[in-house]
Amino acid sequence: MGGHSLSIVQAQTKIKEVFDKEINVVDMFRYPTISAFAKSMENGAEVVKEAVKKSQDRAAKQREATQMAQKRLRNRKR
């Protein structure tokens, strides 16, 4: 994107206004070109999707384990 920290902060503010998305200034320095920054934002969405999927998978496994444990307890009481 070029420029200095004031330019970065101005770009950050504009991104917030236009896209209603909070962007970390450090990320803007980490990805100094518009192309690299755009790719990082796309990848960021993918990372979030993957994290949600993993969380859902863990929750499903925990539910399954809980159901199995409850079933074993019911069988012991008989």
The predicted structure's pLDDT at residue 1: 45
Nearest residue to 31 (alpha-carbon basis) of 14, 6, 11: 11
pTM greater than the 0.95 cutoff: no
Q: In whole angstroms, what is the distance from residue 59 CA to residue 73 CA?
A: 21
Per-residue tokens: 20: 């209603």
pLDDT by 10s per residue, the chain, length 78: 455 778 888 888 988 898 888 888 887 877 777 888 777 777 776 766 777 788 889 999 999 999 999 999 999 887
Per-residue tokens: 37: 């920054």
Backbone angles phi, psi at 72, to 5 degrees: -65, -40
Locate the domains of the chain by residue range: 1-32, 42-78
